[in-house]
Structure 1
Amino acid sequence: MEAGLGLGSIWNGGLMYIIPFLFVLTIIVFFHELGHYLVGRWCGIRSLAFSVGFGPEIVGFTDRQGTRWKLSAIPLGGYVKFLGDENAASVPDRSAVARMSEKEAREAFPTASVGRRAATVAAGPIANFILAIAIFAGVAYVQGRPVADPIVSEVVEGSPAEEAGFEAGDRVLATDGQPVTYFSDLQKYVTARPDQPIVVTVERDGKPIELTVTPRTEERDDGFGKTFNVPVVGIVARGTESSFRVEELGPVESLRYGVEQTWFVTERTVNFIGEVFTGRQNADQIGGPIRIAQVSGEVSTLGLGALLNLAALLSVSIGLLNLMPVPMLDGGHLLFYAFEAVRGRPLSEQVQEVGFKIGLALVMMLMVFAFWNDISGLV
């Protein structure tokens, strides 16, 4: 009886992570592949299959155009297979193309112009960014935007802010000449400038004062057993002094907010990748499905809005990952098409085959590394 209760608890705990994880991943994968599918159709390319997940089909149907829409057993991605593709990675099937009729050849992916192929491939990552904008904007429109005035409630002892001369009660007006409206504006500006001097204009006793502060990079706990490096200056905003509130946004303001948030996440993700390669950030922050499931489960306890915002963050990350110039990924295909456009003809089959093998090895290495980080975080 006790064993049964224990297994039940484990099962229920697992569902707490699995269901939000599948919800988030399905949204992201579906819209990524929908981008490929819609632009491919617009370019006159016939699709054979649209799958959310890999492996054996669980359920599906075939539409009037002959596309098999299906949900597959392994929920770790998805694909659109176009006519003339050898596999889900859009590796061209040369022998199949050679046997096609004239009509089929006009609708096949490998025989489409380089511009149409590039547009179809780029549409997936672009759809991820559009999805992120839509989610950020939609959540902000429904729930409003939490904001706080840029007023310093407390200066941390021994911090760069104390050394620069900040005082409680200072109101931040600008950073390097750029106006600051909310406390989050200051946070975003500091986060993007580790160890770089920043000229901060504050209002004190009704007069503007310029202070120069250099953010210090400190190690913080992410709440999931990992640490990350973040630039800080050491000032605190509290509810009473900084007037924490939720602002309602109209449709246009919400859309602008969605674009701004997506751009900020994109910029910070690119900077993070660069910092990993330069040693400023820990590579063990890179996570795989287990960690995504863990984070999804924790965030889901905060409500649907928080879970959707997580989906937007991950959508940006997946969009950027797919744009990396690695064969097997969308960015690798775009790199091949760029060479084709410059040369006036595709790269040889041998070169492309070697490229795809290298790309597959790199993708597999990244997956193994991410899984290792996931597992080590659980130990």
Structure 2
Amino acid sequence: MSTVIAFIVIFGALVFFHELGHLIFAKRAGILCREFAIGFGPKVFSTKKGETTYTLRLLPLGGFVRMAGEDPEMVEIKPGYRIGLLLNENEQVTKIILNHKEKFPNCRVIEVEQADIEKKLFIKGYPDDESENLHTFPVHPAAVIVENGVETQIAPLDRQFSSKTLGQRTMAIFAGPMMNFILAFVVFIVIALFQGVPTNDPKLGEITPDGAAKAAGLKQGDVVQSINGSEVTSWSDVVEIIRRNPDKPLKFLVDRSGKDMEISVTPIEKTIEGKKTGIIGVYSPVEKSPVQAISSGFQQTYFWTKQIFVMLGKLVTGQFSINMLSGPVGIYVSTDTVAKSGIFNLLRWGSILSINLGIMNLLPIPALDGGRLMFFAVEALRGKPIDKQKEGMVHFIGFALLMLLMLVVTWNDIQRFFL
């Protein structure tokens, strides 16, 4: 159960921050965001704040931000329709009631002559109480359409995704993967603040309770000045000398709180990868400081980003088989293994997954963020957008292929771990 919870929390956090990036920059661009969803399938929880409905859905395998203009915009109000209108004090339409008008006794019922709720924002028609007089009613930009008791806010053209500049649209899409990198960077900083950042100073870190260093009397914080008379200037020097001398007594000259002390330590012999080496049971020294933590955050984020790109390169060149890819099942099994090694390793694992999610979404694959960014790049080169229907078809085919790949990867995971 703890693994299930860890998996849901990690995966949920990655999706949440990814979609949060889309939401923040879409709202900054003035795009109407109808829904912010974590998961797919039936709604488990739903609440509305401002213009956006925030939902939690049954299957925690992704999420989405539904922006106005990306899907066909609601019902078209055609001439001859009989609708109800609720007006504010400025005589602007705030609610357009398509059916069950009897539930709104204060509405004005009209027969529509002409309507435009995207560009010019008006409805023209004949009110029931003045059948021969044609009236024009201005529509409020935040008016809602009511159908079967459900309210849906209209989306004037300037609130739709497609009406925004190329830069605004690009940023709204790029912000999702960007947030995954930011999340990983912040988590790596938190880990470094709590665990410290390894340094190369010749200073003893944590002493293990059953090691030769503890038995000899060495203590955490001792600064090693020399070993067997040879001066040491770095932690690398200390490690190298210890490893070269298994079962051989070594005289450590250490500085402990300003006092020089000579302590004899005999490294325990251990075979690692077929080679005999010496160990004394001392961890490397660490430094806990905000500056070091931020530096470590950058280094770790860069390192894992580079590693993932290296693996992608091997996949493209055939050095890495598709059978070695993992999907949700493989990630779950790996999460179970990592969770047993402690909270910090679990956080580090989550950061690596976040970087991986960011990179995967930036690949120029249709249906992913990178695929959409690729279409924006083409638009920038040709000076006009690609036909929406053609782009939609490409994304549909890409999504179908991704689902097929997901099925193959999931089946391989099941065979690898459970069969």
TM-score between both structures, scaled by the size of structure 1: 0.68
Larger relative strand fraction: 2
Query: Which residue number corresponds to residue 164 of structure 2?
Result: 112
Aligned pairs (5 A) from 1:4-83: 15-64=1-50, 66-83=51-68
Aligned pairs (5 A) from 1:202-351: 239-240=279-280, 244-351=283-390
- Based on CA coordinates, which of the two structures has the bigger radius of gyration? 2
* Partner Cα separation in structure 1 for residue 70 and residue 75 of structure 2: 9
Do residues 140 (structure 1) and 174 (structure 2) align?
A: no
Residues 183-203 of structure 1: CA distance to partner in whole angstroms, max 9, x if unpaired? 9xxxxxxxxxxxxxxxxxxxx
* Partner Cα separation in structure 1 for residue 275 and residue 313 of structure 2: 27
The CA deviation at 1:96 is: 7.4
* Partner Cα separation in structure 2 for residue 353 and residue 283 of structure 1: 27
Query: Which residue number corresponds to residue 355 of structure 1?
Result: 394
Aligned length: 282
Verify the 8 A CA contact 1:147 1:182 in the aligned structure 2: no
Structure 1 residues 181 and 101: alpha-carbon distance in aligned structure 2, compared to 1, 3 A threshold: farther
* Partner Cα separation in structure 2 for residue 131 and residue 237 of structure 1: 39
* Partner Cα separation in structure 2 for residue 58 and residue 265 of structure 1: 35
Note the residue ranges of structure 2 that are not aligned, 5 or more in a row.
77-115, 121-140, 142-155, 203-233, 238-272
Larger relative helix fraction: 1
Indicate the structure whose relative CO is greater, using CA pairs within 8 Å and at least 6 residues apart: 1
Query: Which residue number corresponds to residue 370 of structure 1?
Result: 409
Verify the 8 A CA contact 2:39 2:58 in the aligned structure 1: yes
Structure 1 residues 49 and 308: alpha-carbon distance in aligned structure 2, compared to 1, 3 A threshold: same
- The amino acid of 1:125's aligned partner reads P
- The amino acid of 2:22's aligned partner reads H
Q: Bigger CA drift: 19-28 or 289-298?
A: 289-298
Verify the 8 A CA contact 1:323 1:330 in the aligned structure 2: yes
The CA deviation at 1:341 is: 1.3
Q: Give the match's secondary structure for 1:84.
A: coil
Verify the 8 A CA contact 2:367 2:395 in the aligned structure 1: yes
Instruction: State the superposition RMSD in angstroms.
Output: 3.0
* Partner Cα separation in structure 2 for residue 239 and residue 146 of structure 1: 18
Q: Give the match's secondary structure for 2:161.
A: coil
- The amino acid of 1:328's aligned partner reads A
Verify the 8 A CA contact 2:37 2:65 in the aligned structure 1: yes
Verify the 8 A CA contact 2:196 2:289 in the aligned structure 1: no
Structure 1 residues 56 and 308: alpha-carbon distance in aligned structure 2, compared to 1, 3 A threshold: same
The CA deviation at 1:24 is: 0.7
TM-score between both structures, scaled by the size of structure 2: 0.62
Q: Give the match's secondary structure for 1:110.
A: helix
* Partner Cα separation in structure 1 for residue 412 and residue 201 of structure 2: 38
Q: Give the match's secondary structure for 2:183.
A: helix
Note the residue ranges of structure 1 that are not aligned, 5 or more in a row.
1-14, 87-92, 151-179, 184-232
The CA deviation at 1:364 is: 1.3
Query: Which residue number corresponds to residue 124 of structure 2?
Result: none
Verify the 8 A CA contact 2:304 2:352 in the aligned structure 1: yes
The CA deviation at 1:284 is: 2.2
Structure 1 residues 246 and 105: alpha-carbon distance in aligned structure 2, compared to 1, 3 A threshold: farther
Query: Which residue number corresponds to residue 225 of structure 2?
Result: none
Verify the 8 A CA contact 1:146 1:244 in the aligned structure 2: no
Verify the 8 A CA contact 2:199 2:287 in the aligned structure 1: no
Structure 1 residues 145 and 96: alpha-carbon distance in aligned structure 2, compared to 1, 3 A threshold: farther
Verify the 8 A CA contact 1:135 1:312 in the aligned structure 2: yes
